[in-house]
């Protein structure tokens, strides 16, 4: 793990995650990629038994608000999400790319480009991800609001419900989307009391 980067697991916390496309290129401008990513997110959600509270797929990055998974660590689940997406792109395009690292030892670089490797459209993840532990209800609401407002703040849409690749419509209308939101049947979550420090 990179020096200075610490991940805190095991406290049944929520996690606000951000991960980006390679060199923050807007590779999610392709609607098919956005739809496929959400399909793989739902698959990973079920497989690792994690609760998704919110998500948004932006042109060059993704935000998630999730619980810790019951199976494996959150890092492993994110690796599976990135790799699953890349493999789905490879199979749907009929392309086999040998440049993608696939070992568990190099897990966090799965689906990213090796140094000096030419850019392939199906290998577009930046290595690593940002993880912020959410310990209070106030922070949970703040992060969820940030996720849903992101497309509006960027000028991609006039209102949050217009962005198809977000959990906002589930919260506004109760309309199920491609990823099941707040499925607490698979995991009981706790949020620390408001008296806890942020």
Residues 153/144, Cβ–Cβ less than 8 Å: no
pLDDT score at 171: 94
pLDDT score at 194: 55
Separation of first and last alpha carbons in the chain: 24
Residues 28/60, Cβ–Cβ less than 8 Å: yes
Whole-number average pLDDT of the chain: 80
pLDDT score at 197: 55
The position carrying tokens 């009929």 is 94
Percentage of the chain modeled with pLDDT above 70: 71
pLDDT tens digits, one per residue of 24-78 = 889 899 999 999 999 999 999 999 999 999 999 999 999 999 999 998 899 999 9
Top pLDDT among 64 and 190 is at 64
Distances (CA, A) of 24 to 35, 102, 120, 158: 19, 22, 14, 23
Mean pLDDT, residues 93-116: 43
Q: Which of 91, 70, 82 is nearest to 41 (CA)?
A: 82
Q: Let me know how long the chain is.
A: 198
């Amino acid at each position: 793990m990179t020096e200075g980067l610490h991940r805190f697991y095991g406290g049944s916390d929520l996690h606000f995650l951000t991960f980006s496309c390679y060199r923050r290129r807007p590779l999610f401008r392709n609607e098919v990629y956005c739809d496929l990513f959400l399909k793989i997110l739902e698959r990973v959600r079920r497989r690792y038994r994690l609760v998704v509270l919110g998500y948004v797929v932006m042109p060059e990055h993704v935000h998630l608000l999730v619980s810790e998974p019951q199976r494996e660590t959150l890092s492993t689940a994110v690796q599976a999400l990135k790799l699953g997406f890349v493999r789905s792109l490879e199979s749907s395009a009929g392309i086999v790319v040998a440049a993608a690292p696939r070992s568990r030892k190099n897990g966090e670089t799965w689906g990213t480009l090796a140094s000096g490797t030419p850019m392939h459209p199906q290998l577009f993840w930046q290595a690593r991800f940002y993880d912020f532990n959410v310990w209070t209800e106030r922070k949970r609401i703040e992060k969820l609001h940030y996720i849903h407002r992101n497309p509006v703040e960027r000028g991609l849409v006039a209102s949050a419900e217009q962005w198809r690749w977000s959990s906002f419509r589930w919260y506004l209308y109760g309309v199920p989307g491609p990823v099941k939101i707040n499925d607490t049947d698979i995991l009981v979550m706790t949020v620390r009391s408001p008296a806890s420090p942020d």
